[in-house]
A = this chain, B = another copy of it.
């Protein structure tokens, strides 16, 4: 049993079972006849960049890596905090005013976040127009941006 094969198996387990603890991996693997210790699982998890998430259910779940999304959100937040001027909502539209030069990057980052309430975004030098799926959606976007600015 090579490390790589084991790690493939870990991924498979991750999507097919609820893994709360590293010991769960140890147990499930041993049911498949693969005997490793928690120490090895810990190393695998680090290497695979798996994460332990607080689950909605109240417990914890191990999950696949998520680095990119986080990076995007961080960048958007930082950019907003640096460049924000004003925000307005009308119907399903929003207009975000930002410091010159920041419109396109913010529009792009908003796109990348793939908010389900955003239909599309376009940014010129100092404005970002967002078309939301509804007025409700526009309000959600407002809330989201407020949060980022407040954080």
Contact = CB atoms under 8 A, between A and B. Distances in A.
Contacts of A147: 11
* Of A66, A111, A112, most B-chain CB atoms within 10 Å: A66
A69 interface: yes
B74 A70 contact: no
Interface string A52-76: 1110000000011111111011100
Interface string A112-151: 1010100000000000000000000000000000010011
A151 B49 contact: no
Interface residues of A, number: 35
Interface string A37-49: 0000000011111
Contact of A8 (B48, B73, B74, B150): B150
Contact of A69 (B46, B68, B111, B150): B68
Copies of this protein in the assembly total: 2
A30 interface: no
B45 A49 contact: no
B53 A15 contact: no
A50 interface: yes
A114 B63 CA distance: 19
Contacts of A51: 51-54, 66
Contacts of A65: 53
Interface of A: 8, 11-12, 14-15, 45-54, 63-70, 72-74, 77-78, 111-112, 114, 116, 147, 150-151
